[in-house]
Structure 1
Amino acid sequence: MDKVEVVVAHAERVTLRLGDTFMKIDADQARIAVEVQAMAMAPVPTPEVRWHQPPVLAIAAMPGTALGVLGAPSTASAAAWAAAGAAIRRLHEAPLPPWPGRRLDDIVAELDRECEWLVSTGTLPADLVTRNREVAEAALRPWTPAFIHGDLQITHVFVDGDEFRGIIDWSEAARGDAMFDLAILTLGHEERLDDVLAGYGTDVDRDVIRAWWSVRSLSATRWLAEHGFDPSAPGCEVDVLKARM
């Protein structure tokens, strides 16, 4: 061990790597507590907790490699994506966590607030925002709560060859819509949805998944830009929105 690697750094949290240990420093101690409890409950492999001293959580590196990154083609096999889908199904069928998730009314209010900001500031064209707000409506309906990861980005799912190895970053885990997890995993990788569903099962509404792509991309664009990320990079959130036109 000869250096400290900064993995993620913004105003809300910082993740550092020292050898095979990751240290997460979070301004919201309740979020770290949720992460620890969610990993203990999840019926899928999660990182080993080495120690937890608020506001810091130290976890072991997850074996394998991430399914891919947003904005670039995934080199993982179709079998690996299917294995991830099967693991996510196990999570969604597990007993619910004791804490609630986000209320539908709050999601709708945030979405409308962000849409207004995107148009009023000229960040995105009004027709692009309007079309995606229409698409988003399919996701904004009552759902049967499932145990969801809540931030199932492609970089949070690890595989080794064709084998699923585990899932990291559980701070957003809660009760929620199972289709939201499937949407976040395949955001910007629509071509991999069939592979995921081969493992997850096909009893899903693809229109709802597509709708969550729009919800996520509209809602996250301002936050990403304000925290040092580029939602307009090729293959990222703005391209996801354009694909719905």
Structure 2
Amino acid sequence: MKNSKDFFLVFIAAIILGALISMNFNFKGIQSYEQLNTTQYQNAVEERAILYTDIANLKENNSEIRQKFNDYTKNDTQKEKIVEDIKAQISDYGMFTGTKQVEGRGIILKINDGKTNVEEEGIDEVMSKLLHDSDMALVLNELRKAGAEAISVNNHRVVPWSGAVCAWAFIQFDDGTMESAPFNIYAIGDPEKLKAAILEDGSHVRELMLRKLYVEIDESDKITMPPTTANTNVKYMKTAEANK
């Protein structure tokens, strides 16, 4: 009787073990595979494609860097090439950060306050015909978005960290310099693209025209901009180490 009972328990245990094995059960509590739904599978495929693209780009970039390094280390005469390349990079950085005088094709956006009559118009109507610091900021942003590579307001070179505030009848910038109306906003870039962007429906320049400010746009084959007078010293930020 006892043997029959033991046999029965072993039989039941064997059935349970077989069922667990057939369900791919992992006794450590982890399944050896995971069933993905359609969305998860599509996301996995897209992620894999992105990873393949990133790897290909890294390989290409690594190849270019290795080739450049080999060119530099072939012989001692390459040291002069290294110095020239560094100077060229510094010059490029100077153009983008505004520390160098630049020139190129672009547009000249002329903006002036509209004609007002304080005796006949209400204060709100008068104020709407004036260019404010918020208007200037929005116009500069539209030019940047449209692809302007360099911008200046009258004789003030606008740099990425430039800020503008109202100072009575002037627009004052972050370095304390002030510019007064009429404002000639110079933008170096593709003239047709810049002009089309700032004149499209919904643009802030269009709104200024509706508010009856004076707006004129001219294309120019050669615009010359002075270097910035803003402080370019970096005090608080530094290059981040990707693997840190």
With normalisation by structure 1, the TM-score equals 0.18
With normalisation by structure 2, the TM-score equals 0.18
Structure label with greater radius of gyration: 2
